[in-house]
Amino acid sequence: MFKSLAIIIFLAYVTMKTKVFISSTFSDLEKYRTHIWEFFKSVDLKITGMENFGSNKRRAIETCLKEVEDCDIYVGIIGYRYGSIDEDSLKSFTQLEYEEAKRLNKEILIYLMHERALTFPVFVDTGESADRLKKFKETLLSEHTVSHFKESEELTLKIYNDVKKLIPKSKLKLVRQRSLKAKVTWFYVGSERWIAFIGYLNGKPYEIFTGFADEEMFPIPQDIETGRIIREIKKEELVYSFQFIDKYGYENVLGGLMHKFNRQVQKYSDIINTLLQEDTDSSLVNDVVDKMEIFEFTNSSDWKKGVKVALNKK
């Protein structure tokens, strides 16, 4: 009985998502928060903040502090507003959330808006609020190594990279969405024309499909460089399709992407995909491609070269 209970507890622990609490003022940093939420939809973490609070019987500050208590990592994003004030303590909600995270010894990540970041004057505090904000920032700078940001994408990537360092790699998984942005690369293997489709997740290569660019199998205009890779389940089978817009503005779909490729070649792409989906550093992926021993077709060095060009395409 005790052994079974231990197993249940262990399984609950390893399958539990890491919870990240996003703390900031709202109206001035709304676009930043929106970008963070959209980005982290594809990462196997639980992101929480005021967007998730809904309605309950607790006071707003009590709800905030309860979320901090339940989180694993506290992310504080500070702009040029001190924020809503709690009537009892006369401190901002953001400062109280930070102090609660510190009291509970949570992992704390702090991001301050750069002094040269563009913002509207209405989002810059003056007077007493500005003085309180200055003192709060001084506390953060003295207690933590902080990062600065100007743009929402920059901030989001900094948060992702910092959070990733705090989580065992086995617990941080990328989650593929149904549709991924994709780039097309044409290259030659010997005298044969080949094609590579690269799907991108969070701005990084996530999957690759390569094969002989037969015009009947791949009736794609040569000027097409981007599109989307769609993954669906049809008749209990996983199906990948390439979707693109032609020069007339019409949407085109090339179905059965995997079935159009030689499986002897795709198995090498599958090895690369495994590395990409583990968020492996690009230099290591390139090294693995270089060291692949491929005997199934001639001019394999051309294939390796073409794959690396596709993976590193800007």
Mean pLDDT value across the chain:
85
* Banded pLDDT at 20 (limits 50, 70, 90): very high
pLDDT at 10 over 60: no
Count how many domains the chain has: 2
pLDDT in tens, 217-262: 778 888 889 999 998 887 777 888 899 998 888 999 887 776 656 6
User: Does a structural domain hold residue 85?
Assistant: yes
User: Does a structural domain hold residue 1?
Assistant: no
The verdict on 48 and 142 lying in the same domain is yes
User: Does a structural domain hold residue 166?
Assistant: yes
Task: Return contacts of 282-288, CB within 8 angstroms, 24+ apart.
Answer: 282/205, 282/311, 282/312, 285/311, 286/311, 286/312
User: Does a structural domain hold residue 43?
Assistant: yes
CB 217 within 8 A of CB 260: yes
Choose the most confident range, by mean pLDDT, from 54-68, 119-133, 294-308.
119-133
The single-letter code of the amino acid at 7 is I
- Residue 72 exposed, middle or buried by CB count within 10 Å (0-12, 13-18, 19+): middle
The verdict on 79 and 138 lying in the same domain is yes
The verdict on 165 and 263 lying in the same domain is no
The verdict on 31 and 165 lying in the same domain is yes
pLDDT at 81 over 90: yes
User: Does a structural domain hold residue 226?
Assistant: yes
Domain enclosing residue 250, as ranges: 179-311
* Banded pLDDT at 6 (limits 50, 70, 90): very low
DSSP labels for 227-238? EEEEEEEETTEE
The verdict on 158 and 16 lying in the same domain is yes
pLDDT at 73 over 80: yes
The verdict on 139 and 184 lying in the same domain is no
The verdict on 142 and 199 lying in the same domain is no
The verdict on 163 and 75 lying in the same domain is yes
Identify the CATH number of the domain in which residue 132 sits: 3.40.50.10140
pLDDT in tens, 262-274: 666 778 888 898 8
| Euclidean distance between CA atoms 19 and 172, whole angstroms | 11
Tokens representing 127 are 């007077």
User: Does a structural domain hold residue 130?
Assistant: yes
User: Does a structural domain hold residue 2?
Assistant: no
The verdict on 151 and 213 lying in the same domain is no
User: Does a structural domain hold residue 118?
Assistant: yes
pLDDT in tens, 22-51: 999 999 999 999 989 888 877 778 888 887
> What is the rounded average pLDDT of the residues 268-296?
85
Choose the most confident range, by mean pLDDT, from 104-113, 161-170, 190-199, 282-291.
104-113
Domain end residue (candidates: 171, 205, 230): 171
The verdict on 112 and 73 lying in the same domain is yes
Domain end residue (candidates: 171, 192, 213): 171
What pLDDT sits at residue 8? 36
The verdict on 165 and 42 lying in the same domain is yes
The verdict on 156 and 206 lying in the same domain is no
Owner of token pair 């491929």? 294
Domain end residue (candidates: 138, 171, 204): 171
